Amino acid sequence: MTGDWRTYRIRAALRGENPTVLRRLTAGFAAIGDVQFLPGYSVLLVDEPDVQRLSDLPRAKRLSFLSDMDQLGEAVERACRRLDPAFRRVNLEILGNTDPYLHAHVWPRFEWEPANVVGKPVWLYPREHWSDGQFRLGPQHDVLRDAISGELDQLRSVT
């Protein structure tokens, strides 16, 4: 398979070629988001590229995926709370409207967000936030990546 890893995120993760992957979990991959206008944004990718929806998984794997989503959500919450005193909460979403593979969004939310979006879904942020280079994932997010990865490691060691 050739091309950009973004086109085949799960296959790239399975091959160890997806640079956003933080950790391999039970039913998927914890990955940091391509955009970081809300620092700590992460995604759980299912580990089966052809699975499109949660109901495509057998019940045991479905529950494992949901448990992985919970674990990633808690890791993001712990890391963001430690790194930013304005951290409020984490929003978890499985939407499936755009990308044709099962994935879950983990969105940290902060007190410093603009008043017109702070209490609303992230998808109401201006479109520019998704493509603005200042929010693109890069080396400036290494501390955040390490913090979330460390929290995942701690959570996995107690289960």
- Look at domain 9-158 and name its CATH class: alpha beta
User: At residue 2, does pLDDT exceed 60?
Assistant: no
pLDDT for the residue numbered 105:
97
Q: What mean pLDDT is predicted for residues 18-44? A: 97
User: At residue 155, does pLDDT exceed 70?
Assistant: yes
pLDDT (tens digit per residue) in 44-83? 999 999 999 999 999 999 999 999 999 999 999 999 999 9
3: phi > 0 → left, psi -120 to 50 → alpha, else beta; which? left
Q: How far apart are the first and last CA of the chain?
A: 36
Q: Is 141 within 8 Å of 36 (Cβ atoms)?
A: yes
| Spans of all domains in the chain | 9-158
Rounded CA separation 94/87 (Å):
22
pLDDT (tens digit per residue) in 84-136? 999 999 999 999 888 889 999 999 999 999 999 998 999 999 999 989 999 99
How sure is the predictor about 1, in pLDDT bands with cuts at 50, 70 and 90? very low
Report field, pTM of the whole predicted structure over 0.85: yes
